[in-house]
Amino acid sequence: MNQNMEVDNERMEKSLRKLGEWKEVVNELLEKEFKTYTKRAKEIHPEASRMVEYLRNFSMRGGKRIRPGLVIAGYKAVGGNNHGRITKAAVSLEAFQTYVLIHDDVEDEDDERRGGPTMHKMYEEVYEKEDMIGGKEKYGRNIAITAGSLAGSYSVDTLSKTDFDAETKIKAVRKLEQIHRYTAAGQTLDHTINHRKTEEVTEEDVLKIHELKTAQYTIAGPLELGAILGKGTKEQIKVLREFGIKAGKAFQTYDDMLGLYGTKEKLGKPVDSDLKEGKKTLLILKALENGNEEQKRKIKNALGNEEITQEEVEEVRKIVKETGSYEYSKKRVGKMIEESKEALKDSNEINPEIKEFLLGIADYIITREV
Amino acid sequence: MNQNMEVDNERMEKSLRKLGEWKEVVNELLEKEFKTYTKRAKEIHPEASRMVEYLRNFSMRGGKRIRPGLVIAGYKAVGGNNHGRITKAAVSLEAFQTYVLIHDDVEDEDDERRGGPTMHKMYEEVYEKEDMIGGKEKYGRNIAITAGSLAGSYSVDTLSKTDFDAETKIKAVRKLEQIHRYTAAGQTLDHTINHRKTEEVTEEDVLKIHELKTAQYTIAGPLELGAILGKGTKEQIKVLREFGIKAGKAFQTYDDMLGLYGTKEKLGKPVDSDLKEGKKTLLILKALENGNEEQKRKIKNALGNEEITQEEVEEVRKIVKETGSYEYSKKRVGKMIEESKEALKDSNEINPEIKEFLLGIADYIITREV
């Protein structure tokens, strides 16, 4: 989708290499954290150990570690220079992400994540293997809710035990809980609009979800958390937030495009899952706004249809392009990415190396393969 | 059940009055907290405000505030003397309790709590009133999972913003997360044994759940959290933990007795809900161990039976008494309460006024009406 955009490929590749390096360290530290939690769980009960093992499996089997990477970037952006210390703190947001994904999968009743079974599916296997009673789905769901919450608890604990001074850590914990509140509000709004009739849902609602679930949670929140740990100034934090909110909104709009036009291999989940769950994306809303009666009817039939065929998915893809909705989202994404880059470029407050890194990340957001 | 136990009624009444006084202050502060969160939520989205309003309703409609009371007691037990400061911190555990109850109700598919609808039932009403689509149960459940998590987030935030020094707050946050882990392990074990065939469940499993979900979470955890905030010594914390673990185990065993022999009015939930969800209490396990084939069959038929009649509930009550299982639990409760009291009495480390308070609470635990 980068044909009309000014993308500096060399800079982007450099950012991705940097993100990849950080990912390696984050993964090593994650493994170490799981070892600590396993040791503690073993003292409690075999069921507690199994849960840590399953959380480890779920966390380590995939994920780009974008959020931890942005915590590290936010810290360095404001002049922080203790790499070991910030990396340990960054792990916290990956534990948080595990928590969010597990609950999300329970709520959407999805079977696959990161190319493997979702947490509730893993426990449904336990149910079968150990010949349990009382309902497989219920068992899987209930244990997965607890497993998600446990990962959430790890995120606070991991952050609290880092080597930053206590004042700074308390500020960071409060920021983490603010991110938690935004994420919860986004999740609530997301479920609510998906349960409202399509004609009652506004573009504004959808963009609010993008702001809360992605802009705040995925980009701005991690950057700000890192900046707080690096004792950044208000001005520095403001610049990072502005970049993060704009880039984050673009990220989610683009993600919804990937969700409709991507492949299972790239997404790590079936391509029809957004349609099956009746997700009212900007793509869908605009197509309904601009489509003729026939096109509207076809989209409405596809939305929330658990039995949707590959043919019907193709039909929706076609309509979204024909109605100009695809082009509309694409333009929005491009504009927001441009604005996010300008917010950064105009500032003298941000470490120049990290500025380059973030500009590369902004390009990456709109260059991921569809 | 206090006929064979040495209970100092005057002391117990004094403890309950004290707990009642603290409850008033905790409730005032809770209301204030909800006002703050409502104000923030209003800036986000009407759906976010509705969730805070529902959390407020759920939290304020009942509850004895035992956990916040024990946080205050733990603080004063080690010599803490800033009443205003500790009360604000104590509110944190009530938010945590709201979180645990909401998820518990989702998991057990319960309809009532504290004499009103559970959180998922409140949102099922929203679904109906606002003529939503996509499944009432699914909407209620998914939003309630998020509402519970949001209350959990409040618990960390509330604790983090108190006026204690940052070092102490970080220690308290880590203790809160340890309580969180114990609770999660207890919940996991609880669901797992309820999904295992009765003959695979051991008394040891059941007692482990009592230790994790009640002893640690309800009594020892809050006392220790308070003691940490009061900068208590290791020795002081050890005494409080020992009291808490023993009193907490007694509390849960007694609670299961209330669950079978209580009335809906006293419990705030239907008396058959433990049986319906197939809860394998010590009462049930012992009755199965000692019962004849006819008695065993009747209990097994009642366990997990969603259609259980009042007559069948009465039958189970009778069998549990006939097999000596009721007496066994009663004796255990008595013994553990005696031991918890001795742990306190033998110590010179604990503020004498709080020692008296806790001895009164121990008596209260086994004097609650069946």
CB contact under 8 A, A165 and B165: no
Euclidean distance between CA atoms A71 and A89, whole angstroms: 8
* Res B62: pLDDT: 86
Collapse the DSSP code of B349 into the 3-class scheme (helix H, G, I; strand E, B; otherwise coil) and give the result.
coil
Residue B223 has pLDDT above 50, yes or no: yes
Dihedral sign computed on CA atoms, order A66, A100, A256, A113: positive
In eight-state DSSP terms, residue B112 is E
pLDDT score at A368? 82
Q: How far apart are CA A36 and CA B303, in angstroms?
A: 38
Domain contains B255: yes
Q: How far apart, in whole angstroms, are the C-alpha atoms of residue A11 and residue A271?
A: 30
| pLDDT beneath 50: ranges in chain A | 2-3
The count of structural domains within chain A is: 1
- Whether residue A295 contacts residue A287, with contact meaning beta carbons closer than 8 Å, is answered with yes
pLDDT band at B369 (very low <50, low <70, confident <90, very high): confident
Q: Is residue B370 included in any domain, yes or no?
A: no
Terminus-to-terminus CA distance in chain A, angstroms? 8
**Mean confidence (pLDDT) of chain B:** 94
Residue range B172-200, pLDDT digits in tens: 999 999 999 999 999 999 999 989 998 89
Residue B188: CATH number of its domain: 1.10.600.10
Q: What is the pLDDT of residues B58-80, one digit of tens each?
A: 999 988 999 999 999 999 999 99
Tell if the CB–CB gap between B180 and A149 is shorter than 8 Å: yes
Residue B5 pLDDT greater than 70, yes or no:
no
Would you tell me the crossing angle of helices A83-108 and A136-160 to the nearest 10 degrees? Answer: 160
- The structure's pTM equals 0.93
Rounded Cα–Cα distance for residues B18 and B70 (Å): 11
Minimal Cβ distance to A184: which of B149, B161, B167:
B149
In a domain, A317, yes or no: no
In a domain, A228, yes or no: yes
In this complex, do B106 and A278 lie within 8 Å of one another by their Cβ atoms? Answer: no
Is residue A336 domain-resident?
no
Q: Tell me the chain B residues in contact with residue A185 when contact means C-beta distances shorter than 8 Å.
A: 41, 44-45, 47-48, 51
Q: Is residue A307 part of a domain?
A: no
A196 at interface of B, judged by CB pairs closer than 8 A: yes
Residue A295 lies in a domain: no
Pick the residue of B40, B43, B156 with the most A CBs within 10 A to test the interface with A by mutation: B156
pLDDT of residue A168: 98
pLDDT of A66 reads 94
Query: What per-residue confidence (pLDDT) applies to A4?
Result: 54
Q: Which of A161, A180, A187 is nearest residue B174 as measured by Cβ atoms?
A: A161
pLDDT tens-place string over residues A253-273: 999 999 899 877 766 667 787
Chain B CB contacts of A106 under 8 Å are: 145
**Is residue A285 in some structural domain?**
no
Tell me the pLDDT band of B277, cut-offs 50, 70 and 90.
confident
Q: Domain of residue B31: give its range.
A: 2-365
C-alpha distance across the termini of chain B, in Å: 8
Q: How far is B214 from chain A (nearest CA, A)?
A: 14
Q: What is residue A154's predicted lDDT score, i.e. its pLDDT? A: 97
Q: Do A182 and B107 touch (CB under 8 A)?
A: no
Query: In this structure, are residues B132 and B139 in contact, taking their beta carbons and an 8 Å threshold?
Result: yes
Q: Which of B131, B153, B191 sits opposite A184 (nearest CB)?
A: B153
Q: For residue A37, give the chain B residue with the closest CA.
A: B181
Which tens digit of pLDDT belongs to each residue from A274-330? 888 888 999 999 999 999 999 999 999 999 888 999 999 999 999 999 999 999 999
Q: Which of residues 47-66 of B touch A (CB under 8 A)?
A: 47-48, 51
Cβ contact (<8 Å) for B47 and A188? yes
* pLDDT higher than 80, residue B225: yes
Residue-wise pLDDT for B161-174, tens only, equals 999 999 999 999 99
Distance CA A60, CA A340 (A): 31
